[in-house]
A and B are shown apart, each in its own frame.
Chain A
Amino acid sequence: MKIEIMIYTYIAICVSMILYNVIYVFILKHRERALISNSQKLEAAISEQIKILKNGEEISENHKKFLCRELDKTSGITAFDKALEGIFEKEPELCEKYLIDTFSVFEYLTHRYISKDTLKIAYFPYILHKYNILKHHESERLIDVLLELLRSVNVYCRENTLKALYSMQKPDIVKKSLRIIDINLSFHHPKLITDGLMFYKGDKVELKNVLFAGFGEYSVQMQVNILNYFRFAGIKCDDEMLEILKNEKENSEIRFSAIRYFEKFPSEDARSIILNLAENLENRTWEYQAIATSALKSYPGDTTFRILVKNLSSSNWHVRQNSAISCEKLGYNYHDLINVFDGNDRYAREIMRYRLDRRNAEEAVKV
């Protein structure tokens, strides 16, 4: 190939890219205008139906057909979102009633959206979650489709679908959803599960019971995510956690989560185990000692004090640091720790002095 031809071809493509840039500006402007006009059209139509609902009448079938047609396109569903946002703020109750009455539209759309590109699919569960559309209806067909979306390779599609399924407030659905995410090959970050579960607004005790009932079916990582969720959400589950804590054959990560739980929710039943884990390394990894030492801040007492002082001289940095933090949080002062400050262990002295100085500084700021 002649070099000039190659260069000219490149130039032609680049010039067309600049043209694309210019055209894109116009497309964007047009799209914005179209979104505004579409949402105004939809807002007028929805407002009319809301008036009908106010009068105790039912939503017209024509309106449902109109919605099916409009919302089938992504431009339509984005306009619907924009239109509904404004109405929802003004009349949340009537809006909720409107969404309950138009549920069949969303049921229909679920099957339309599942065949679209994954980028476009993600918007649909987002809408379902945002307006709590699934809260008042149970449609097996729709749930099946949503559960299928959890197998998508698109993390945002999975994430929006999970939120939509949580909004149903059904523990069994949550259990099933987590199971699908768990066996799915696509990576779903643990934070998205643990923090995401916080959006579940249903009965949390019931959710806890259901999740514990099938606990063994989940992978270790998912079990840890669930236990962390219980801890963050403040869901009490002392008996189950104690069982995990006692079971020496249980996976370490799961037991770590249980120790952290008992740090947040101290229990006298867990005290002796935590004291033992903090004091004796035995054939366990150092993480057990470090995490248990941190948990000791919730178990004041003479034995705790003795173990913390001992752990201040640990050869492991994390154990030493956690021990100093626990001493600080338990309110020990220079006088209580005189043996540490008079002792020969420079590392123990330094870390403890730093923590106590820090506490004093923080208190001074508060004053």
Chain B
Amino acid sequence: MDMDLVKQIFDIIGVSFIIYLIGYSTFLFLSVVIGATTLYKKKMQDRLMNKFSENYFVPITIVTPAYNEEVTVVQTVKSLLTLDYKLYEIVVVDDGSKDSTSQQLIDAYNMHPVRRPLHRQIPCQPEEFIYESHDQKVPLTLIRKKNGGKADALNMGINAAQYPYFICMDADSVLQYDSLRKLVVPVLEEENVVAVGGTVRPSNDVELFEGKVVKYKLPENILACMQLLEYDRSFLASRILFDRFNGSLIISGAFGMFKKETVIAAGGYDHGTMGEDMELVVKLHSYCLTNKIPYSIKYATDAVCWTQVPEKLGDLKKQRKRWHLGLFQTMWKHKKMMANPKYGAVGFISYMYFLLYELLSPFIEVFGVFTMIVAFCVDLLNLPFMLLFMLIYASYNSILTLTAFFSRIQTIDLTVKPKDCLKAIMLCFFEVTTLRFIMAFVRLTAFKGYKKKKLDWGRIERKKMNI
């Protein structure tokens, strides 16, 4: 092949790759700057009593789907019963666990069997038994159903919910004591709010008592610590930015609140998708925009849910593959939204961002690295320039990660020890240069064995939490 042509191809690839990176850098830059500014403004608002000084209680049902959660389920419910909120109920849906999840709850909370008819507004697998408890602070219901996956369990929970708003949360997570009060604020502030996302923070090595942080420190485990930095960047950055133009496409499955009526009208959670949390949000956008229903999807930066993140690379790989498959399924299912003027900013900005910088990013990144190696082999790579460029890029990303980390720490009134600050500074570079690329390869292989995973709950090893 003509060497000039090869050089031209490499030039085109190189320029495209750099444009891609610049695009991503610009997005990250904007989102971190806007995210940090929003958090500081929020803190100022609180100081100047721009908050509801009295409690207004919007009735909420907390739906907790559980599968083989015998280790954590009792503690999770215990933490839910200590929430600083008056008007709520708890519905735990056991999705046909193979362990003693249901029995643990029945014994711990003195629950008794009931023959309760359910108002089935969304299809789901049939229930096997229902237990209720009436001697707790709030009504507690346990529904054991035939296994059907997380989405199916959530749909069952929605059918059983008695209140107009429901919260979905994972059985291995802990809500901060004031999280419900904070989560309903956007509903009181604005009209037509159909969903509110909360902030998820890794709880590994954090000590909580009755939903309050007693002792905060960064996780000892390096992998968990890097995920914390990643969570901070993602929650501070993209979610706040997308919130600005009602373009959020994700509300974490670990913690989000939805208007029941709208979710039912849109068809509930999709059984066939692994990323049921994202799919629901995209579906809500699609449903409301198609039917010209005024709506908004908000993000409550100060409503916090603590969750365990994987400490083993194997678990993390499983989780990320699952997320990536879920992302692909959602994007594919709602492909009509892609750059479609009918869907406004959601179709043009949010969808395109997720397509280019989330779904296709592992392919582009791995292809980029591969091209560099080939170019180096045929002596077409300006190695010093490339290394310098990558170094600058990695430093830039690390600085953004640190900005997100420190902004978050300061604005939610947590204090970290200097040792932890140093740890964050040291690990952020490693996260950007190493973990990110490992995860790119992992996500690239997500489609291997795709069909077998359809109703898989995506297990990771659970530990009892310090609550």
Contacts and interface: CB of A to CB of B under 8 A. Distances in A.
Interface of A: 3-4, 6-8, 10-11, 13-15, 17-18, 21, 24-25, 28, 74, 78, 119-120, 122-123, 126, 154-157, 159-160, 163, 187, 189, 191-192, 195-196, 199, 317, 321, 347, 350-351, 353-354, 357-358, 361-362, 365
B50 interface: yes
A18 B406 CA distance: 8
Nearest to B47: A78
A276 B441 CA distance: 69
A321 B393 CA distance: 61
B114 A155 contact: no
Contact of B134 (A25, A120, A321, A361): A361
A289 to B, nearest CB: 17
B350 to A, nearest CB: 22
Contacts of A353: 115
Contacts of A362: 134
Given A350-B115, A351-B117, A365-B134, A126 B410 contact: no
Nearest to A318: B119
Nearest to B399: A14
27 contacts: A3-B389, A7-B396, A10-B26, A11-B399, A18-B399, A18-B402, A21-B36, A24-B40, A24-B410, A122-B49, A155-B189, A156-B45, A156-B49, A156-B50, A156-B52, A160-B49, A163-B53, A187-B191, A189-B187, A191-B58, A192-B188, A317-B119, A354-B115, A354-B116, A357-B115, A358-B132, A361-B134
Nearest to A1: B22
A225 to B, nearest CB: 13
Nearest to A186: B191
A116 to B, nearest CB: 10
Contacts of B52: 156, 159, 192
A312 to B, nearest CB: 12
B33 A13 contact: yes
Contacts of A365: 134-135
Say what secondary structure dominates the interface of chain B. Answer: helix
Contacts of B22: 3, 6-7
B465 interface: no
A163 B116 CA distance: 43
B114 A361 contact: yes
B18 interface: yes
Contact of B410 (A6, A14, A21, A163): A21
A25 B33 contact: no
B396 A11 contact: yes
Contacts of A21: 36, 403, 406-407, 410
A17 B31 CA distance: 13
Contacts of A357: 114-115
A157 B187 CA distance: 17
Contacts of A189: 56, 187-189, 191
B187 to A, nearest CB: 7
Nearest to B385: A4
How many of chain B's residues touch chain A, expressed as a range?
35 or more
Given A17-B403, A119-B45, A192-B188, A10 B54 contact: no
Contact of A361 (B50, B112, B119, B406): B112
Contact of B25 (A7, A163, A347, A361): A7
A317 B159 CA distance: 12
B126 to A, nearest CB: 14
B403 A14 contact: yes
B50 A122 contact: yes
Nearest to B192: A187
Q: Which 4 A-B pairs have the closest CB atoms?
A: A187-B191, A156-B50, A14-B399, A21-B406
A362 B18 CA distance: 67
Contacts of B48: 74, 78, 119-120, 122-123
A306 B326 CA distance: 53
A160 B54 CA distance: 10
Contact of A11 (B36, B188, B395): B395
Given A15-B399, A122-B48, A126-B49, A199 B54 contact: yes
A26 to B, nearest CB: 11
B56 A361 contact: no
Given A14-B32, A21-B410, A354 B25 contact: no
A196 B188 CA distance: 12
A10 B410 contact: no
Contacts of B410: 21, 24-25, 28
A226 B33 CA distance: 44
Contacts of A13: 29, 33
Contacts of B188: 155, 189, 191-192
Contacts of B40: 24
B117 A195 contact: no
Contacts of A74: 48
A237 to B, nearest CB: 24
Contacts of A14: 29, 32, 396, 399-400, 403
Contacts of A6: 22
Nearest to B398: A14
Interface string B208-243: 000000000000000000000000000000000000
Interface in B241-296: none
Contacts of B44: 119
B393 A7 contact: yes
Interface in B174-194: 187-191
B108 interface: no
B421 to A, nearest CB: 11
B333 interface: no
A159 B115 CA distance: 45
A154 B134 contact: no
Contacts of A11: 392, 395-396, 399
A119 B50 contact: yes
A354 B33 contact: no
Interface in B341-372: none
B410 to A, nearest CB: 6
A348 B6 CA distance: 78
B51 interface: yes
A37 B259 CA distance: 47
Interface in B52-91: 52-54, 56, 58
Nearest to A196: B54
Interface string B22-47: 10011001001100100010001101
Contact of A354 (B51, B114, B190): B114
Contacts of B112: 361
A77 to B, nearest CB: 9
Interface string B102-126: 0000000000101111010000000
Contact of B49 (A123, A155, A350, A351): A123
A154 B52 CA distance: 12
Contacts of A350: 115, 117
A10 B25 contact: yes
A361 B112 CA distance: 8
Given A3-B22, A3-B389, 19 more contacts: A7-B25, A7-B396, A8-B392, A11-B396, A13-B29, A14-B399, A18-B399, A18-B402, A25-B410, A78-B47, A155-B188, A160-B53, A187-B191, A189-B56, A189-B191, A191-B188, A192-B52, A321-B119, A358-B132
Interface string B390-414: 0011011001101100110010000
Nearest to B190: A187
